[in-house]
A and B are shown apart, each in its own frame.
Chain A
């Protein structure tokens, strides 16, 4: 069953990026030092509310993602807390080296906001579907990587990274998705939490599911199905890929002995890889990875693309059942 702070009956659907926009506005009200930069996608990345509230603290940099990274770095070195936003494919897709050198290596407090991540971007097609960005960001020393599961969590995550000194990447999806977390749902950077737990069952098959972003909701639905079929199962919302919540991952590995990971990202270098790297050294268990397998995205609806790339509830259930 789901904990009391998860509301699967929620009638609210919002794009995850909307939660970021709300969180940025709140962060701007709390901290005078918060500034926002955007590369010609202000409305799309939901910075308009911040721009209207704090016009002097909003900077339109045009379509200059590489320049934007340096400008944000310079602002941070003068004590500002810049949030720089574009589509994830362009930032951190195009400006990776600038982020590495002028932000992480230079150790300044810049927040990178990658919107329209994942194949759920849909009709725009593969050029606009960032499915490599977790890998690009988590490989950088000092970078915090957060992948919120819904708009409410994105709001909290935005406030949390504004409050935490250091470089951070927040990954946002485009399409409306169910807002199933609530004001009461806990959020702390680097602290994962369970969003479903069947409870302990004796003498039955067990599987743990670890998911992030848009896949958390699908993972809960998959867990419900597995629970009904007799499995002992739980779902961990691993919203922070880095720093990894080692205790929670270790707990899941020891309790279940088998894990399924789910993410709207390449299997190579993504969240599942981060889990696998840690467990291979500390507590090896078999893992099935639900994610994109060395392919590019394409045009289609979110449902069509999730089916095609095997990212649905059914795919998670099948992965869980495929352990020998």
Chain B
């Protein structure tokens, strides 16, 4: 069960999301490479997951009954690392080692280097399949009333991958009610806008046709995010997908809605401007 969202909690989540965005900027400037738009765009959803929705214990990352979070689009890992650091899985200072030799925080997630991760990812399209495997194994052990949920994040460009649709078929077949897929519908991918590169619309209809429960939300509204996950948890006969409409680069005007920031980090100057903007928006 998800706790009721109070105004105080919304204020707290807003602060956390801002801190996570600032961490993302600092990490990327220090690393000198990496993805900017996706991580900033997903900061609110990661904040909601790690600070309100998921049952986990950062002090005991291998706790057997934890909810699982499976990042399928591994390239947005700066937001995962930042959210996990702010939640207590690693020191916030360690974020500055992103992409450096010997780091826990590999350029794309590698569980061997950072065992608190549920999986390794980078090549697109594989996360939902892994969530299905986890949920099927859990169903064998804990039955259909298992309290665990399996959250998996996919990019919209990632939906070009054939494997995703194999998995969408499969989860529909197995009626895996405790899978919650979240699609980052930010409309950009490396070569341009998703509807130019490989059109996805009508996206809602596609998932529905594969026997999923579909919701579309504003991915920057904590009330929307948390209500949608609550609704997904209440659906008992099928898996759920939340198509989260997000603004790539959200929170920093110069990065917003421009696909060139998909795979590029800010330089030092741009980073400083971004941090100023983020600090300012927090004081407003």
- List chain A positions with a Cβ less than 8 A from chain B: 35, 56-57, 59, 61-62, 64, 66-80, 82, 97-98, 101-102, 105-107
Contact = CB atoms under 8 A, between A and B. Distances in A.
A97 B118 CA distance: 19
Contact of A71 (B119, B140, B170): B170
B134 A77 contact: yes
B134 to A, nearest CB: 4
A75 B136 contact: yes
Given A66-B163, A79-B137, A106-B120, A74 B110 contact: no
Contact of A102 (B112, B119, B140, B162): B119
22 contacts: A62-B166, A64-B167, A66-B125, A66-B162, A66-B163, A70-B129, A70-B130, A70-B167, A72-B133, A73-B119, A74-B70, A74-B119, A74-B133, A78-B134, A80-B140, A98-B163, A101-B121, A101-B122, A105-B110, A106-B111, A107-B111, A107-B112
Interface in B100-146: 110-112, 118-123, 125-138, 140-141
| Across the A-B interface, the 4 shortest Cβ-Cβ residue pairs | A74-B133, A70-B129, A78-B137, A67-B166
B120 A67 contact: no
A69 to B, nearest CB: 7
A173 B133 CA distance: 28
B166 A64 contact: yes
B169 A70 contact: no
B163 to A, nearest CB: 4
Interface residues of B, number: 33
Contacts of B111: 106-107
Contacts of A75: 133-134, 136-137
B129 A74 contact: yes
Contacts of B140: 35, 56-57, 80
A72 to B, nearest CB: 6
B118 A70 contact: no
A61 B125 contact: no
Given A67-B163, A67-B170, A71-B130, A80 B137 contact: yes
Contact of B119 (A62, A68, A77, A82): A77
Given A35-B140, A62-B170, A64-B170, A74 B132 contact: yes
A51 to B, nearest CB: 15
Given A73-B129, A74-B136, 5 more contacts: A67-B132, A74-B137, A77-B133, A102-B129, A105-B110
A71 B132 contact: yes
A67 B167 contact: yes
Contacts of A72: 133
A73 B169 contact: no
A102 B162 CA distance: 16
Contacts of B141: 78
Nearest to B132: A71
Contacts of B110: 105
A76 B39 CA distance: 29
A76 B137 CA distance: 8
B120 to A, nearest CB: 4
A269 B67 CA distance: 42
Contacts of B169: 62, 64
Contacts of A105: 110, 112, 120
Contacts of A62: 166, 169-170, 173
A101 B123 CA distance: 8
Interface in B137-160: 137-138, 140-141
Interface string B161-201: 01100110110010000000000000000000000000000
